[in-house]
């Protein structure tokens, strides 16, 4: 209990939550916006400057106070682990069931043994329509204010006033959202249950994150919010608070240097510790600011003149102050800058007083290295906590007058968060110690590209992703050029097919396509013939336009000879072979040369590879096609045949699948192969398919006319270590900054850049 015998409910400034709005005890209203972040440190100086400038314009547009709140807590993955438990129960494959158990144990132990954080950004938009004179006295009144409802105002009038105030508040929210969007940040208004969840976690820092929502649901939103979110006990001391079993301390920043570099606040925000940061930005009336600055300029000028008349040595401090005042006056007069009173408060949490003091010393050390100084709010810890909470109440009122430029250097949204309860674990964000748990199917497309030099870890990362996708119920199809995925197939009971001249596994490129439900068989057959023509052109090499037209007719007639024609049910017909096409070409005018060029694929040295009926069983969750034992010149043909076969399979049955094409540059070397691959990537989204293209020969990939479009149609991009010879091409393609280029050149195995849509 608190030392003044007050219940913890009394020390909460919140009256209720209604219509996605926080209502305080003094009648003030608050909207809380959750805001996305960016990895600011990876931006180039030019990009950082543009972001800071846009943020400065946003601040200049404000004529009301706002609070920016940064919430940092240990990551809670309970929901994610529960979903893994469910998947393990549902999984019928014993090998995969064992893998899921191991993966779950790995994630749980990793998070428990390492400081894995969850960082969230908020902007609190206030409206204070009610000014109440008098009220309660004592610490409760000072910290939380007093709420006095007029007993003479009818309920109908109160509701009318409330709706009018909500309308005004929403107009402010629209302005804030618009300003944040201009910076490139996304913002969403918290709903009632999420607000309760947030404050439960804030008042109960020792609890598991997100537990507040469960408690709110158990008790119902009809319960008094203070009963839901109040801590079980609060102990107040001169230099710290104790919330439950957690120690908390609030410190405030009170001194800044003359110059603040952009991004100086990032090291504090990205600390892997429990802390809450509150930045209050109070606009100052420009006319009043100019009046005060004019007085100050006159005082400084008078002092300089007095010292000059006395023959004293020039005072550079006063001269600099005078120049700064005059410069600020000019900027304010011209509307380039605005003036703000800024308060920065940081509340830190620890399990012991010793750890609390260590964290305070660490923060002070970081700040002092930048000539910024902070102090603990001695005898004002309860006010300090209230100032840090996202309720828009600045109880400490410890401000520094700063103009727009320095305030914009506080840019707080410097940390991107890619942790969700869906998807698989890809890695750790090294900037802020958050997990990257991501569902690639949540993006516009589920396609992915991986670029890396040999030995950077791309194959290992791909195998890991494939295994974890299988655990979450996603089918995986792999084109394997080097037998790297054979062990993976054995581990989970997948199918592994070797495609080679002497192999027992064959795929007939003339297989009849399966007609998906609701599609026209004639259109499906026509599309298949076009795809097959691309394969034959890849086999033959360059052909003329006349030969291309002849080939198209020959393929149609080859199918027609087997009674496979539009308008008939051809689903149970025996498909032709490549040798049937060759025979037809031999008997067509102008087709003999093409038939001779096909000879090596029908009766020549390549006959066993392309001229046999299909004999593989594709009823498996993981299917690997190995083409390691094929000659180099046959690999693009094999990839084309396999991808065409897989594509027909995918169109036949819609389900979540990922197709992995390792060493994709083999196909990109040939126009028809690259065109076919681009077609797959472009159409994959409609069939619930994600395509992963992996390559180490970046130049071969990018030199193709289809290379860059494949990248732009891939919402997920992973770049691992790059060679100096390739880095410029990669940097140009992905618009990398100098910091990102340096990271890729110096990255160790398994480190790199992860792009997921705009993040």
pLDDT at 40: 83
* φ/ψ of residue 618, rounded to 5: -105, 15
Q: Give CA–CA dist 5/408, Å, rounded.
A: 43
Neighbours of 320 (CB within 10 A): 11
Q: Which band of pLDDT confidence, cut at 50, 70 and 90, is reported for residue 21?
A: very high
| Whole-number percent of the chain with pLDDT over 90 | 21
pLDDT at 132: 44
Q: Which band of pLDDT confidence, cut at 50, 70 and 90, is reported for residue 145?
A: very low
pLDDT higher than threshold 60 for residue 150: no
Are 482 and 629 contacting, i.e. CB atoms less than 8 angstroms apart?
Answer: no
Mean pLDDT of the chain: 83
Q: Which band of pLDDT confidence, cut at 50, 70 and 90, is reported for residue 133?
A: very low
Q: Output the 3-class SS for 612-624.
A: CCCCCCCCCCEEE
Cα 207 to Cα 211, 378, 538, distances in angstroms: 7, 26, 62
Higher pLDDT, 608 or 130: 608
pLDDT at 381: 93
pLDDT at 332: 65
**Residue bearing tokens 């309970």:** 78
**Is 378 exposed, middle or buried, given 0-12, 13-18 or 19+ CB atoms closer than 10 A?**
exposed
Q: Give CA–CA dist 695/752, Å, rounded.
A: 15
How many CA atoms does the CB half-sphere of 568 hold within 13 Å? 10
Give me 534's structure tokens: 């691309």
For residue range 704-717, list pLDDT tens digits in order: 788 888 888 888 88
Residue range 174-188: mean pLDDT, rounded: 93
Higher pLDDT, 564 or 391: 391
Cα 430 to Cα 35, 462, 514, 734, distances in angstroms: 20, 20, 46, 20
pLDDT at 5: 45
First to last CA, the chain: 44
Residues 6+ apart with CB under 8 A from 50: none
Cα 715 to Cα 260, 289, 417, 445, 448, distances in angstroms: 36, 48, 17, 6, 6
* φ/ψ of residue 623, rounded to 5: -125, 125
pLDDT higher than threshold 70 for residue 153: no
pLDDT higher than threshold 70 for residue 137: no
Range ranked top by mean pLDDT from 76-80, 250-254, 696-700, 725-729: 250-254
Q: Comparing C-alpha atoms, which of 438, 475, 466 is closest to residue 755?
A: 438
| Whole-number percent of the chain with pLDDT over 70 | 91
Neighbour-count burial for 217-235, b at 16+ CB within 10 Å, e otherwise:
eeeeeeeebbebbbbeebe
pLDDT at 207: 67
Q: Give CA–CA dist 392/602, Å, rounded.
A: 78
Q: Which band of pLDDT confidence, cut at 50, 70 and 90, is reported for residue 140?
A: very low
Q: Give CA–CA dist 472/650, Å, rounded.
A: 19
Residue range 286-306: mean pLDDT, rounded: 71
pLDDT at 238: 92
pLDDT at 39: 81
The helix (run of H) or strand (run of E) holding residue 318 is helix 316-334
Residue range 75-84: mean pLDDT, rounded: 86
pLDDT at 412: 92
Neighbour-count burial for 720-739, b at 16+ CB within 10 Å, e otherwise:
bbbeeebbebbbebbebbeb
pLDDT higher than threshold 60 for residue 134: no
pLDDT at 138: 41
Q: Give CA–CA dist 212/218, Å, rounded.
A: 10
Helix axes 94-113 and 78-90, enclosed angle (nearest 10): 170
Neighbour-count burial for 34-50, b at 16+ CB within 10 Å, e otherwise:
bbbbbbbbbbeeebbee
Neighbour-count burial for 635-671, b at 16+ CB within 10 Å, e otherwise:
bbbbbbbbbbbbbbbbbeeeeebbbbbbbbbbbbebe
pLDDT at 152: 57
Q: Give CA–CA dist 677/682, Å, rounded.
A: 9
**Residue bearing tokens 């009971």:** 493
Higher pLDDT, 231 or 379: 379
Residues 6+ apart with CB under 8 A from 725: none
Residue range 310-330: mean pLDDT, rounded: 70
Q: What is the pTM of this model?
A: 0.76
Are 297 and 325 contacting, i.e. CB atoms less than 8 angstroms apart?
Answer: yes
pLDDT at 377: 93
Residue range 399-423: mean pLDDT, rounded: 84
Higher pLDDT, 228 or 381: 381
Lowest-confidence segment of 48-52, 669-673, 680-684 by average pLDDT: 669-673
pLDDT at 364: 94
**Is 618 exposed, middle or buried, given 0-12, 13-18 or 19+ CB atoms closer than 10 A?**
middle
Higher pLDDT, 305 or 68: 68
Range ranked top by mean pLDDT from 146-155, 212-221, 268-277: 268-277
Higher pLDDT, 410 or 608: 410
Q: Comparing C-alpha atoms, which of 495, 493, 570 is closest to residue 526?
A: 570
Q: Output the 3-class SS for 561-580.
A: HCCCCCCCCCCCCCCCCHHH
CA 581 to chain centre: 50
For residue range 530-559, list pLDDT tens digits in order: 888 888 888 888 888 888 888 888 888 888
Q: Give CA–CA dist 149/147, Å, rounded.
A: 6
Residue range 490-506: mean pLDDT, rounded: 84
Q: Give CA–CA dist 663/66, Å, rounded.
A: 52
pLDDT at 644: 82
Cα 459 to Cα 363, 446, 636, distances in angstroms: 40, 19, 20
Lowest-confidence segment of 261-270, 319-328, 468-477 by average pLDDT: 319-328
């Amino acid at each position: 209990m608190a030392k003044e015998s007050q219940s913890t409910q009394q020390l909460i400034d919140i009256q209720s939550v209604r219509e996605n709005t926080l209502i305080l005890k003094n009648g003030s209203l608050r909207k809380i916006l959750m805001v996305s972040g960016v990895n600011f440190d990876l931006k180039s100086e030019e990009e950082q400057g543009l972001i800071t400038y846009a943020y400065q314009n946003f601040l200049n547009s404000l004529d009301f106070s706002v609070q920016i709140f940064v919430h940092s807590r240990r990551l809670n993955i309970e929901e994610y682990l529960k979903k893994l438990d469910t998947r393990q129960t549902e999984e019928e494959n014993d090998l995969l069931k064992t893998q899921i158990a191991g993966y779950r144990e790995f994630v749980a132990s990793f998070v428990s043994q390492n400081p894995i954080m969850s960082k969230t950004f908020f902007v609190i938009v206030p409206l204070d329509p009610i000014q109440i004179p008098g009220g309660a006295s004592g610490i409760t009144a000072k910290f939380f204010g007093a709420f006095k409802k007029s007993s003479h105002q009818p309920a109908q009038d109160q509701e009318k006033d409330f709706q009018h105030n909500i309308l005004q508040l929403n107009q402010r929210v629209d302005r804030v959202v618009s300003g944040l969007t201009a910076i490139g940040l996304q913002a969403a208004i918290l709903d009632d249950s999420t607000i309760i969840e947030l404050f439960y976690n804030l008042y109960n820092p020792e609890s598991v994150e997100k537990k507040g929502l469960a408690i709110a649901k158990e008790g119902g939103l009809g319960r008094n919010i203070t009963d839901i979110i109040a801590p079980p006990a609060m102990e107040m001391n001169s230099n710290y608070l104790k919330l439950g079993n957690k120690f908390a301390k609030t410190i405030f920043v009170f001194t800044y240097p003359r110059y603040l570099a952009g991004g100086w606040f990032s090291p504090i925000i990205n600390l892997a510790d429990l802390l809450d940061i509150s930045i209050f930005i109070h606009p100052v009336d420009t006319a009043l600011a100019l009046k005060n600055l004019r007085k100050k300029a006159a005082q400084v000028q008078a002092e300089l003149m007095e010292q000059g008349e006395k023959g004293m040595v020039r005072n550079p401090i006063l001269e600099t102050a005078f120049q700064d005042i005059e410069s600020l006056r000019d900027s304010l007069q011209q509307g380039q800058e605005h003036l703000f009173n800024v308060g920065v408060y940081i509340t830190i949490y620890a399990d012991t007083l010793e750890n609390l003091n260590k964290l305070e010393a660490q923060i002070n050390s970081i700040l002092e290295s930048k000539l910024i100084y902070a102090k603990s709010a001695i005898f004002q810890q309860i006010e300090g906590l209230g100032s840090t909470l996202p309720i828009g109440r600045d109880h400490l009122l410890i401000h520094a007058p700063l103009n727009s430029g320095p305030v914009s250097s506080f840019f707080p949204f410097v940390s991107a968060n890619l942790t969700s309860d869906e998807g698989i674990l890809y890695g750790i964000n090294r900037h802020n110690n958050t997990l990257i748990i991501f569902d690639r199917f949540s993006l516009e497309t589920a396609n992915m590209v991986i670029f890396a030099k040999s030995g950077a870890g791309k194959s290992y990362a791909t195998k890991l992703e494939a295994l974890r996708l299988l655990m979450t119920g996603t089918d995986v199809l792999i084109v394997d050029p080097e037998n790297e995925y054979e062990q993976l197939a054995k581990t989970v009971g997948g199918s592994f097919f070797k495609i080679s001249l002497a192999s027992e596994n064959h795929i007939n490129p003339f297989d009849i396509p399966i007609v998906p439900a609701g599609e026209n068989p004639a259109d499906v057959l026509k599309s298949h013939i076009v795809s097959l023509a691309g394969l034959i052109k890849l086999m033959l090499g360059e052909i003329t336009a006349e030969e291309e037209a002849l080939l198209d007719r020959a393929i149609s007639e080859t199918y027609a000879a087997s009674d496979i024609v539009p308008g008939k049910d051809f689903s149970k017909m025996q498909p032709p072979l490549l040798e049937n096409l060759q025979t037809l070409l031999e008997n067509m005018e102008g087709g003999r040369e093409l038939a001779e060029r096909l000879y090596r694929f029908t009766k020549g040295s390549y006959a066993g590879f392309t001229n046999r009926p299909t004999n593989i069983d594709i009823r498996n969750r993981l299917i690997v096609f190995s083409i390691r034992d094929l000659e180099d010149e046959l690999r693009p043909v094999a990839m084309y045949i396999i991808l065409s076969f897989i594509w027909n399979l995918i169109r036949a049955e819609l389900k979540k699948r990922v197709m992995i094409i390792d060493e994709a540059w083999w196909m990109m070397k040939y126009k028809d192969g690259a065109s076919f691959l681009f077609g797959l990537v472009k159409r994959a989204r409609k069939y619930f398919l994600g395509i992963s293209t992996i390559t180490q020969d970046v130049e071969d990939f990018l030199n193709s006319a289809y290379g860059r479009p494949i990248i732009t149609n891939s919402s997920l991009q992973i770049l691992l270590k790059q060679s100096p010879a390739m880095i410029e091409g990669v940097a140009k393609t992905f618009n990398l900054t100098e910091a990102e280029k340096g990271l890729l050149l110096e990255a160790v195995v398994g480190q790199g850049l992860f792009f997921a849509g705009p993040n």
